[in-house]
Structure 1
Amino acid sequence: MEPRTLGALAAVLVVSAGFAFHHFLSGRPEAVRIPEKTGTAGAVAAPRPAAPLPQSSSGPVPASGPGQVPSAPGGAVVVVVDVSGKVRRPGVHRLPAGSRVTDALEAAGGVKAGTSTEGLNRARVLTDGEHVVVGGPPQPALATGGGVGVGPGAGPPAGPVSLNTATVEQLDTLPGVGPVLARHIVDYRTQHGGFRSVEELREVNGIGARRFSDLQKLVRP
């Protein structure tokens, strides 16, 4: 082959290679850069913090009782007493548990002027259902249903004493029964729901066979 022909063929090959290379470069995919977003529109919202769990109260939880004794609307235990005699507002009064005779007198408006309270133990703790008579003569237990005269000159009851309604002062007037034994009788009555028979008095702490024999005809359930 002649040199001229070879030169022309080489020139064609070079031109063809150039076109092929240009076509290759123009056909390649180019990476496109996404423009960055500015402003608050492109900001990613931060996650909201979780709400704190409610904490339990550190205060005590009120306990509910079976309701065996009278109670005030707020749940406090009360005692109901009947105050009569020489007071300004005689009647039935509800007082907090643990109240004393002096508290009952205040609830009844106080003792009338000129009334002697020499025989009245105003420091004594009240019991539920008690009848307090101020300044009057002693009343028989059989006629009053267990009321006790706490005025001056109070003496032993005229009839059998009710073990289920008598107060400590009235039981204290029985022969051989002092304040301590009288309190034991009232405590036994409260714990056992009352006396069902006179013989049950034998179960009270401090009452033996001899003392029971002396009291048997002086008391009733």
Structure 2
Amino acid sequence: MQLRCGLEPKTLAALTVVLVVAAVLAAQHFWSGRPQPVNAPETVREEVAATGSTREPGPSPGAPPSAAESPAKRVVIDVSGKVRSPGVHRLPAGSRVTDALRAAGGVKPGADLTGLNRARVLVDGEQVVVGGPVPPGQVAPGVGAAGQGVGGAGPPGAPVSLSTATVEQLDTLPGVGPVLAQHIIDYRTEHGGYRSVDELREVNGIGERRFADIEPRVRP
């Protein structure tokens, strides 16, 4: 090459060095440009992992609410009298008297349910009393309920039972209206019934004169 191109030895040596350097750079360029697998950044993987482990799937559109979101409404009823399991019972809202009797274990044998409206819807906080033994000359009381129940009524002129009478029955007494009748029933509920007629004196709104008018018309 020196003879053909007429190059000096120094020039030929420099040219050789340049060619070698160019070849090395070219090889390095092609090697660094080859395809390589790329991993996702660590921050992205951590975010995906955290999101996938803590997020819970939400309810699908149109799905009914869970029981925790919409708890069913209930009514609390006090069932007493001639039932197998008297006491306080919790029933679903909209339950009826027959459901309360069933929750109390059913009516005891011999209980007279004449006049009982077992289809009546229950009200929260009321007392359902299943009548006991019937005095001579009177029909069996049915179910009384703090201002809501329908109890058995005696014949005309018969004393009204303070333990089972309803607001409507107490309203027939002299000097007693719906408000005072409710006070009489509230006292009965708080004290578990009337043991004597004299307990009427403790009811708010009943003075001596009114008690004297009511006493001959009622019984415990």
TM-score w.r.t. structure 1 length? Answer: 0.45
Q: Which has the higher helix share?
A: 2
Q: Give me the TM-score of the superposition, normalised by structure 2.
A: 0.45
Question: Between Structure 1 and Structure 2, whose CA radius of gyration is higher?
Answer: 1
